[in-house]
């Protein structure tokens, strides 16, 4: 399908994105092309292309003739992105409910069981992974490839992993979140698009408020 070089390039973009998202660089720090080029043993040209793409994704800012800087989303941007997240995931839930994809439904049921187990054992790391999987399963289950694509862009911008780790620290949030997931799943099982959309939006809205209540250092700008 994809030639070897293309796959390598994808990997390069992903690798650089991981490096940026992973927090290995302090926010606002400069990321020289030459360093990345040496790090991944390629020329500056493919690194440039990848950084250009990351700029369009909003993860870095390229100041012309100055340098490439890791860009931390501002609090306002996080609010804005969560509004879009709410809308898109609502759409995804609605589409999945209308479609009634059986494989996704069973995956979601399984996910919910695992999530409840993780809540009981207080396994926040597993829970974070399951939440991620739950949302992505619904989006993919919408059977709308363009939606999947745009959703991926959105999530990249949100630097989601850092945030979700923060929300799960709130006491009681895990249980509440799981209840909301169950509500969404039930609406989808009943093939109720409007109900599913409403439940999903309600859930995302609640989770966004949780993610934003904590005044964290990296969100103070």
Binding site for a second copy (CB under 8 A): 2-3, 5-6, 45, 48-49, 52-53, 56, 58, 64-65, 77, 80-81, 83-84, 86-88, 90-91, 95, 144-147, 149-150, 153-154, 157
Sign of CA dihedral 55, 59, 64, 65: negative
Which SS3 state, helix, strand or coil, does residue 68 take?
strand
Distance CA 97, CA 122 (A): 30
Interaction partner, residue 95 (DNA, a second copy, none; CB < 5-8 Å by kind): a second copy
Question: For residue 81, what is the enclosing H or E element?
Answer: helix 75-99
Interaction partner, residue 10 (a second copy, DNA, none; CB < 5-8 Å by kind): none
Closest contact distance (angstroms) between CB of 35 and a second copy is 20
Interaction partner, residue 205 (DNA, a second copy, none; CB < 5-8 Å by kind): none
Produce one character per residue of 181-218: b if its CB has 16 or more CB atoms within 10 Å, e if not: bbbbbebbeeebbebbbbbbbebbbebbebbbeeeeee
Interaction partner, residue 80 (DNA, a second copy, none; CB < 5-8 Å by kind): a second copy
Residue in 13, 16, 20, 31 binding DNA, rule: CB under 7 A? 31
């Amino acid at each position: 399908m994809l030639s070897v070089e293309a796959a390598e390039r994808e990997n390069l973009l992903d690798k650089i994105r991981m490096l940026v998202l992973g927090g290995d660089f302090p926010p606002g720090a400069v990321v020289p092309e030459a360093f990345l080029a040496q790090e991944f043993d390629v020329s500056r040209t493919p690194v440039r292309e990848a950084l250009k793409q990351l700029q369009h994704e909003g993860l870095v800012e390229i100041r012309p003739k100055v340098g490439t800087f890791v860009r931390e989303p501002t609090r306002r941007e996080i609010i804005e992105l969560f509004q879009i997240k709410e809308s898109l995931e609502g759409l995804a839930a609605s589409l999945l409910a209308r479609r009634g994809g059986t494989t996704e439904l069973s995956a979601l049921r399984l996910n919910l069981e695992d999530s409840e187990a993780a809540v009981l054992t207080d396994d926040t790391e597993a829970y974070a992974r399951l939440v991620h999987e739950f949302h992505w399963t619904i989006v993919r289950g919408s059977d709308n490839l363009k939606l999947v694509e745009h959703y991926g862009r959105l999530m990249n911008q949100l630097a989601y992993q850092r945030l979700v780790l923060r929300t799960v620290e709130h006491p009681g949030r895990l249980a509440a979140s799981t209840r909301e997931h169950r509500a969404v799943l039930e609406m989808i099982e009943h093939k109720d698009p409007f109900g599913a959309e409403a439940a999903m939006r309600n859930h995302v809205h609640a989770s966004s408020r949780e993610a934003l209540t904590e005044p964290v250092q990296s969100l103070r700008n």
